[in-house]
Structure 1
């Protein structure tokens, strides 16, 4: 992983992704590996290990939490300024 400059995405949820059918063994076999650049562009990215159903592997979901950047900007079109009914802002 280090030679290819890949990072393991932090995981949440279950600790293991594979279970032996009889439950005697478990391991973290499956994971997402991403580049350092991708991880820095998407702060707050995490992988969620979900409950397994019929497979002996658990599904993994990658989530990227969107950061609130504040209120949306107000746009003014020049044609509005030419309208006499347009309110003046102080």
Structure 2
């Protein structure tokens, strides 16, 4: 009998979400370690999120929006295609030192 691995490969959506996190983190001038500290996870966890190895929890997406200064729909562009951009934005919580 052949043994079947219980590990499931990362979904394409997790990789896309991780790429958006990485791009926005870099735009904000934050390191993985700084983002991890603000989010309350290890920098290794940020690496896994950014590579799409681990899926982001909903509570982390909400906190990421606040930390990175984006609206939740930033991470779900497929839902906003063709829609006008909302006037209100999430407040900025942190910024890399100048």
- Structure with greater proportional helix content: 2
TM-score of the aligned structures, taking structure 1 as reference length: 0.23
Radius of gyration: which is bigger? 1
- Structure with greater proportional strand content: 1
TM-score of the aligned structures, taking structure 2 as reference length: 0.22
Of structures 1 and 2, the one with the larger relative CO (CA 8 A, separation 6+) is: 2
